[in-house]
Amino acid sequence: MAQKIAIVGLGLVGGSIGMALRNWVAKNAERSGLQITGFNRSYERRREAERRGAVDKAYGNLASAVVDADLVVISVPVLAAREVLEEVAPLLAPGTVVTDTCSTKGKLMQWARELLPTTVQFVGGHPMAGGTGSIESARGDLFEKHPYAVVAPTNADQQAVSRVLWLVEAIGSEPYFVDADEHDVYVGAISHLPYLLSVGLMKQVSEGPGWAEISKFASTGFRDVSRLASGDPTMHRDICITNRETILRWLDGYLDTLRGLRDDLSNEQLDTESLFDTFSQAKQARDAWWDGVPVRKELDQEMSEITREATSGGMRRLFLGSLGQRSGPKSKP
Amino acid sequence: MAQKIAIVGLGLVGGSIGMALRNWVAKNAERSGLQITGFNRSYERRREAERRGAVDKAYGNLASAVVDADLVVISVPVLAAREVLEEVAPLLAPGTVVTDTCSTKGKLMQWARELLPTTVQFVGGHPMAGGTGSIESARGDLFEKHPYAVVAPTNADQQAVSRVLWLVEAIGSEPYFVDADEHDVYVGAISHLPYLLSVGLMKQVSEGPGWAEISKFASTGFRDVSRLASGDPTMHRDICITNRETILRWLDGYLDTLRGLRDDLSNEQLDTESLFDTFSQAKQARDAWWDGVPVRKELDQEMSEITREATSGGMRRLFLGSLGQRSGPKSKP
């Protein structure tokens, strides 16, 4: 574990990491010496991070935040992370471990190699959880039971990897080891492509005629498919810049798939059986994925029961014992 | 209000209507004479509907279910609804009102005109709520605070419209009056197009190489954008058959939009400012829509607080007073 952690960037993710660590300390009283500092340019966000207990102290000066830290967590959009690496490089004591929570890894691992001194170890990270909002939406359980990609350089120091693994598990996530390039291909499929679909949908329907009327009918289905479009534009711009080739490959494949669906649907002799098969296969694939996620499914079912209780105005007292438990898969070390 | 309601089709929507009506009766003791019957071909689903209290009695014979009903609610996929209309036409007493919960309206309103006797009134309906699953997932609060499209023929009898409006409000929904063609264009944008995007995404990523590994990293963003792909293939096949032209127009527009995004992204001189603007505009449009939905937003915020409480293992007792309230917009009568 670490003794002093500096979180650079107090947004939704950085703030939630601090709050999750605070929860961990509360459950591990003997480790109460853990110190958490934070850095953010905005005065308001520094105060909010302190108010929420995400950090012991938040600084507007990077050097003050990272001094004596044995673990530095960079939690800003990818392009800003490059600047942070450059700026912290001369400030870090030998033996410091640096990690990040950025959305893409290929370029970042390269920048860390180029910019950090060899006395400092870098191990990349990416919590597969998030959402819209900033420090005001931060919560200590944001990462609980969610996957967390850990990207260790081939020559990584085992102690540095252990320190990052400790962080991942302290905040309740499930670590998965993965190469930087694999990571970028994977998140291209399950995060960056879905974001662009969501943006495209929002652009298409809201810029067309009649949106004022149409939008009144939009409900849960639209809410879900459009949700990612509410994501941070800066973060997603940086993602597109640093993972462009991979995203373009996924997007081209997607355009082909959708054009295929379009052609099937426009065929004068509509093949309704084939249409049914396409929809059935998509359902099977989606259900199989979701069924293969027992921990998250359990959480979802519990949630829908809570919704039911809450909105039906039935029971007012909810005992949620099983939600406190943790279990789940763990990948190769 | 109605005295005897027959629900034809005991799936998620039909079953939830029955359960919602049961809740309404519980709150309106003086109306306890309301009788609810159901029809479903499957024995198991009939038993489940009775077990859940969605109906007083479920029949495997249409005539037994609809006899003496003053309101018949057809809750099956659109093409099956045509058969139901044909089959119930000779069974209904004069003055019976028939409504439906089908996903498309153009063809259905035409079939109702052609197939029902003039002594029977048809007023179309479409609750803008749903989800995956069947009668086992039915819940009495499924429609609460959600929009409900009401499609009345131009020559509609005011009493018939009132009876359907009573149903919509009894189950907690907000009625919006709309023409059949408008309805089909609107839901094409906010429901049918999003479904196809979701299917395309699921098809694209799950049929490509590496899905076994990639899927482990998929988290909440992917869950949301892919959710509609878990929808009922029969329902969606019927939607595509009965709303094909409209869906194709939306889909073509979407393909153009997405190709535009693709071209921007592949431009050798990537215009990062323009990319940022595109993402910002999509965010603004999405946030504006979501902010304009006060009732649902309130619900969502309450839910996220409940999640937080539940998963943080903090308070175990939740007082959810405000969720019982109802308020919201209502369109032209």
Give the pLDDT score at B293. Answer: 74
In angstroms, the CA A19 to CA A25 distance is: 10
Record: contact A290-B230, CB cut-off 8 A: yes
Dump pLDDT digits (tens) for B9-50: 999 999 999 999 999 999 987 777 899 999 999 999 999 999
In angstroms, the CA A258 to CA A79 distance is: 32
In angstroms, the CA B71 to CA B37 distance is: 11
Nearest to A202 among B217, B285, B331 (CB): B285
In angstroms, the CA A311 to CA B17 distance is: 15
User: Is the Cβ of A275 closer than 8 Å to some Cβ of chain B?
Assistant: yes
pLDDT for residue A301 is more than 70:
no
> Which residues of chain B lie closer than 8 angstroms to A172, CB-CB?
none
> Which residues of chain B lie closer than 8 angstroms to A15, CB-CB?
none
User: Is the Cβ of B134 closer than 8 Å to some Cβ of chain A?
Assistant: no
Task: Give the pLDDT band of residue A299 (cuts 50, 70, 90).
Answer: low
By C-alpha distance, the chain A residue nearest B225 is A225
Task: Give the pLDDT band of residue A259 (cuts 50, 70, 90).
Answer: very high
Give the pLDDT score at B330. Answer: 36
Averaged pLDDT for residues A236-260: 97
| Buried b or exposed e, range A282-294, using 16+ CB within 10 angstroms | bbebbeebbeebe
A111 min Cα distance to partner chain B (Å): 20
A213 min Cα distance to partner chain B (Å): 8
Query: How confident is the prediction for chain A on average, in pLDDT?
Result: 88
User: Is the Cβ of A91 closer than 8 Å to some Cβ of chain B?
Assistant: no
B76 min Cα distance to partner chain A (Å): 16
| A240 and B265 Cβ atoms separated by less than 8 Å | yes
User: Is the Cβ of B307 closer than 8 Å to some Cβ of chain A?
Assistant: yes
pLDDT for residue A92 is more than 90:
yes
Nearest to A220 among B129, B183, B219 (CB): B129
Own/partner pairs for A40-43, CB < 8 Å, 24+ apart? A40/A9, A40/A10
pTM of the complete model: 0.86
Task: Give the pLDDT band of residue A315 (cuts 50, 70, 90).
Answer: very low
Q: Compute the count of residue pairs across chains A and B with CB atoms less than 8 Å apart.
A: 352
Nearest to B216 among A147, A275, A316 (CB): A147
A94 min Cα distance to partner chain B (Å): 33
Residues of chain B short of pLDDT 70, as ranges, are 1, 294-333
Averaged pLDDT for residues A123-132: 88
Give the pLDDT score at A330. Answer: 37
User: Is the Cβ of B332 closer than 8 Å to some Cβ of chain A?
Assistant: no
pLDDT for residue A207 is more than 80:
yes
Q: Would you put residue B172 in left (φ > 0), alpha (ψ -120 to 50) or beta?
A: left
Interface of A with B in 157-176 (CB under 8 A): 176
Record: contact A202-B282, CB cut-off 8 A: yes
Task: Give the pLDDT band of residue A130 (cuts 50, 70, 90).
Answer: confident
User: Is the Cβ of B91 closer than 8 Å to some Cβ of chain A?
Assistant: no
B202 C-beta neighbours (distance < 10 Å), count = 27
| B38 and B16 Cβ atoms separated by less than 8 Å | no
Interface of B with A in 280-299 (CB under 8 A): 280-283, 285-287, 289-290, 292, 296, 299
Give the pLDDT score at A30. Answer: 73
Record: contact B272-A196, CB cut-off 8 A: no
pLDDT for residue A160 is more than 90:
yes
**What is the C-alpha R_g of chain A?**
22
> Which residues of chain A lie closer than 8 angstroms to B128, CB-CB?
217-219
> Which residues of chain B lie closer than 8 angstroms to A296, CB-CB?
219, 223
Element (H, E) at B45: helix B43-51
User: Is the Cβ of B320 closer than 8 Å to some Cβ of chain A?
Assistant: yes
Give the pLDDT score at B300. Answer: 55
Record: contact B310-A306, CB cut-off 8 A: yes
Task: Give the pLDDT band of residue A292 (cuts 50, 70, 90).
Answer: confident
Q: What are phi and psi of B72, to 5 degrees?
A: -115, 125
Largest CA distance in chain B: 72
